[in-house]
Amino acid sequence: MNEYSSDIKFAVVGAGRVGVTLGVLLKRAGHKVVGCSARSASSLERAARWLGCPGTTAPAHAVDGADAVIVSVPDDALEAVAAKLKSTIKAGTYVIHTAGSFGVAPLSLLADLGAITLAAHPLQSIPDVEAGVARVPGSWFGVTCSDDLKTWAGSFVESMGGRPLWIAEGDRTLYHAAAVIASNYLVVLAALVQETGLEVGPYIPLMQGTLSNVSAMGPAIALTGPVARGDVGTVSRHLAALPEDVRPAYRVLASAALRTALAGGRIEKNAAAAIEKILET
């Protein structure tokens, strides 16, 4: 049951950017995409262009003849979509959802009918299909499944060039919150730069270089700047210069930087106490 083959017939329910990206990568790995569904005509047109399979607005019709179904819909829509598939999913069909914050629980209705369920969330930003196809290979997937399914799930992820990151059912929300911090809130940091009244463009190479340092050294060693140096005066001047709306975010981020600096032994306790006092006033 759990042997992964090279000619699985897939269907994509929720043929948006993520679903189509995975469909393209699976086709490149030798699999077939036999059907897809989406809510809008534009999404169906994009899916037809990339996947070359029949499209429909009815999820239940998209999965006919599929050995495995990728459900790529918003997290809160999973249970509703599972209910729509109830009448057509056959026992032994693999059903894989790509939502980040849930494990297999939202697919329990289908599991009760004999479907083999797992969660495989690509830990990557996918703004469009072309970018997704370029970025997903080499990226991690947050995977949740039963132990006896790990060989199949790992092969599924690896066939797209991904790497499985095994996440326990109860850890999915924390895993996804960390992904939001790493991705969405990185964008917010760029937006905060703009809120100072400066253009963000000149700071992008700095952000990219910093991410390279984190990848190479880890956060504690990669941390630079006034907090890591214990430069109390600079932190004080920053707070005075920043727009009032930006100061609360700076204080929160500086406090987090202080914890990182202390944990890595980068700052003396007296200097840390002085910076903490400034951040609290």
CATH number for the domain that contains residue 69: 3.40.50.720
- Determine, yes or no, domain membership for 177: no
The residue among 171, 200, 233 that closes a domain is 171
Predicted pLDDT at 3: 81
Q: Are residues 26 and 119 in the same domain?
A: yes
Within a domain: 176: no
Residue 154 lies in a domain: yes
Instruction: Supply the pLDDT for residue 275.
Output: 96
- Same domain for 147 and 188, yes or no, is no
Is 91 within the bounds of a domain? yes
Report the number of distinct structural domains present in the chain.
2
Q: Are residues 71 and 112 in the same domain?
A: yes
Rounded to two decimals, what is the model's pTM?
0.92
Would you say residue 4 lies in a domain? no
Residue at which a domain ends, from 114, 139, 171: 171
Q: Are 136 and 203 contained in the same domain?
A: no
> Does residue 178 lie within any of the structural domains?
no
Each residue's pLDDT expressed in tens, for the chain with a length of 281 residues = 468 998 899 999 999 999 999 999 999 999 999 999 999 999 999 999 999 999 999 999 999 999 999 999 999 999 999 999 999 999 999 999 999 999 999 999 999 999 999 999 999 999 999 999 999 999 999 999 999 999 999 999 999 999 999 999 999 999 999 999 999 999 999 999 999 999 999 999 999 999 999 999 999 999 999 999 999 999 999 999 999 999 999 999 999 999 999 999 999 999 999 999 999 98
Last residue of a domain, one of 142, 171, 200: 171
Q: How many angstroms separate the Cα of 196 from the Cα of each of 199, 204, 242, 280?
A: 9, 15, 6, 21
pLDDT score for 6: 86
Strand arrangement, sheet containing 116-122? 55-56, 32-37, 9-13, 68-71, 94-97, 116-122, 140-144, 163-166
DSSP classification of residue 6:
S
Q: Are strands 94-97 and 116-122 parallel, antiparallel or unpaired?
A: parallel
Q: Does 250 share its domain with 274?
A: yes
Helix (H) or strand (E) holding 43: helix 41-51
| 70 located within any domain | yes
Q: How distant, in Å, are the alpha carbons of 8, 39, 80, 258 from that of 21?
A: 17, 17, 23, 40
Q: What are the structure tokens assigned to 217, written together?
A: 């050294």
Q: Do residues 76 and 155 lie in contact, with contact meaning Cβ atoms separated by under 8 Å? A: no
- Structural domain boundaries enclosing 193: 183-280
Q: How far apart are CA 194 and CA 224, in angstroms?
A: 21
Note whether 51 and 157 are same-domain residues: yes
